[in-house]
Amino acid sequence: MQTVLVTGCAGFIGSHLCESLLNKGFRVIGIDNFDPFYSRVVKEQNLLNFIGHPYFSFVELDLADKDDLATFMSDKSPDVIVHLAGKAGVRPSIDDPAGYIRANITATQNILDIMKEKGIRKMAFASSSSVYGNCPETPFREDMDVSNPVSPYAFTKKSCELINYTYHHLYQLDILNMRFFTVFGPRQRPDLAIHKFTRLLRNNEPIPMFGDGGTARDYTFVADTVAGIESAIDYLLEHENVYETVNLGNNQPVLLRDMIQTIAEEAGVEPVINQLPMQDGDVNITYADIFRANQLLGYQPKTSFREGIKQFLAWYDEVHRDD
């Protein structure tokens, strides 16, 4: 039985991944530090879906604490590490760049050092579409210049990709960087737009719309992202001398105003819009070219934006039915 170590296992994407891996017969080791960026209760609720599984083990641990990580890993030798943990959010990173450097760059450095010391060869790393900044050309391809990040969050993710390459070059670690594009679906973080807008609509409150609604995001349903991660795991297990970067997006950007309208239609309400100025760190569009992911991993998203919104609303209403 193969073992996968999942960092950030109690988060949105991490909890879906753990559940799916356990269902597929993997042994899973989960790490999470319950970062206070959003409620610990939410993450504990995510864990309830699989915390009792006989092939799942869990530890609460701060990856930026190298000694604690080394102690925990002293008797662990997973076949693959899926490193999803890190401080999320573009706008909050502008207020706390040092915190993002610690949680994203230092933590990744510590994991790479542990891999080198213990002979753990393979890692799938959660990067982000944010690394593309305001690239003028779309869709975004992995071979584009990403030297101009527009937020601390973005520069930490780009920095991690660079560190990953260095460790691949020096120590022959097999690493696959996965650039996620605005993942959504059940269990989505409460600070993200779809979750936030749904909450406001259900409470008959106005929706803040930054700019004229013409910005666009390549929303990717969480089950499609998880399928891409699992394909990355398989690829790493089957290949040697790997250093790759792939976009895990949907290849279909949705305008902000259309996103709001779709949620409102599926929720059966009329939105009230409060138009506000654009915010620092925001990009105009994210748009994934997924050719490389398709060629390497067989990645092909299957869930339309509207269908994903339906599934998110069903989950949201179930969770909040007693509110």
- Give per-residue pLDDT as tens, 54-75: 999 999 999 999 999 999 999 9
- Choose among 54, 44, 50, 61: nearest CA to 7: 61
Residues in the chain: 323
User: What does the pLDDT read at residue 322?
Assistant: 75
- On whether the CB atoms of residues 29 and 3 are closer than 8 A, the answer is yes
Count of CB atoms within 10 A of residue 93's CB? 23
Task: Examine the pLDDT at 204 and tell me if it is beyond 80.
Answer: yes
241 falls in which pLDDT band (50, 70, 90)?
very high
Fold of 3-180+222-249+289-301: Rossmann fold (3.40.50)
**What is the rounded distance in angstroms from the CA atom of residue 48 to the CA atom of residue 211?**
39
Query: What percentage of the chain carries pLDDT values higher than 70?
Result: 100
Q: How much is the mean pLDDT over the chain? A: 96
**What is the rounded distance in angstroms from the CA atom of residue 245 to the CA atom of residue 287?**
16
274 falls in which pLDDT band (50, 70, 90)?
very high
- Dig out the tokens for 271 from the structure: 């939105």
- Give per-residue pLDDT as tens, 282-306: 788 999 999 999 999 999 999 999 9
- On whether the CB atoms of residues 38 and 8 are closer than 8 A, the answer is no
User: What does the pLDDT read at residue 282?
Assistant: 78
Count of CB atoms within 10 A of residue 321's CB? 7
Active site residue 316: no
Hey, which bits of the chain come out as E strands? 3-7, 27-32, 56-60, 80-83, 122-128, 174-180, 183-184, 207-210, 216-217, 220-221, 243-248, 254-255, 273-276
Question: Which residue of the set 100, 132, 153, 316 is catalytic?
Answer: 153
Q: Can you tell me the mean pLDDT for 157-170?
A: 98
Q: Which of 51-55, 208-212, 227-231, 298-302 has the lowest mean pLDDT?
A: 208-212
